[in-house]
Amino acid sequence: MTGNSSNAPATPTTATSQASAATSAIRLRNFVIALVAIALSVSIFLGFRTQTAPGMLSAMAKDALPLEVALSNGKPTLMEFYANWCTSCQAMAADLQTLKQEYGDRLNFVMLNVDNTKWLPEVLQYRVDGIPHFVFLNDDGAKIAEAIGEQPRSVMAANLVALTENTPLPYAQSSGQTSAYSAPVSPAQASKTDPRSHGSQVAN
């Protein structure tokens, strides 16, 4: 009696082909899963970074020393003019937080939000027209240097070390990428009401 060919056992060649097809399907599935995982990871990272950068600036500002305390405690000061919307400020936030942890026992870290009109006299006094704008003050509260825009952490660290040692800053007057900012009034208008802003000229 002739056997049914459909019930015949698979030949080695057929079994190998089926195994190869199954392996290829598994590899393709794993590749697609890996691509989806990478895409999700990147989008989560970017979303997390976008959401937390302004939050980090707000938290740092909340923990920063008040300006009036910094000007009277006998320590040198790094004063930053910033805004939560400033992408250059956001880009430097993590580095500045690290620097604060390293040097916070030797100098003051002060943050002034340019969107708060309370700081308009200081904005005008230091001629802030781009942020972040850093002002280095000695232990008497006098300005000795400034840096405008994004700065590498190594540059900021070198300046802070010099500030704490009361030596000339190696990267004074340095400039980097900024976020544009314009004060709501001009220095000429402010000079009528703010005696601190009269006639002061600061080189950019």
- Can you give the pLDDT at residue 82? 96
Selected catalytic residue, list 57, 64, 86, 92 = 86
Do the beta carbons of residue 57 and residue 89 sit within 8 Å? yes
Instruction: Confirm whether 89 is a catalytic residue.
Output: yes
pTM here?
0.64
- Can you give the pLDDT at residue 36? 75
- Can you give the pLDDT at residue 191? 47
Domain 64-197: which CATH class?
A: alpha beta
Instruction: Confirm whether 50 is a catalytic residue.
Output: no
- How does pLDDT run across 55-104, given as a tens digit for each residue? 889 899 999 999 999 999 999 999 999 999 999 999 999 999 999 999 99
What single-letter amino acid sits at 50? T
Domain assignments of the chain as residue spans, ordered by start: 10-52, 64-197
Selected catalytic residue, list 60, 70, 89, 147 = 89
- Can you give the pLDDT at residue 177? 66
The set of residues, in sequence order, having a beta carbon less than 8 Å from that of 204 and lying 6+ positions away, is: 127, 129, 148
Sites in the chain below the pLDDT cut of 70: 1-15, 41-53, 174-178, 180, 185-204
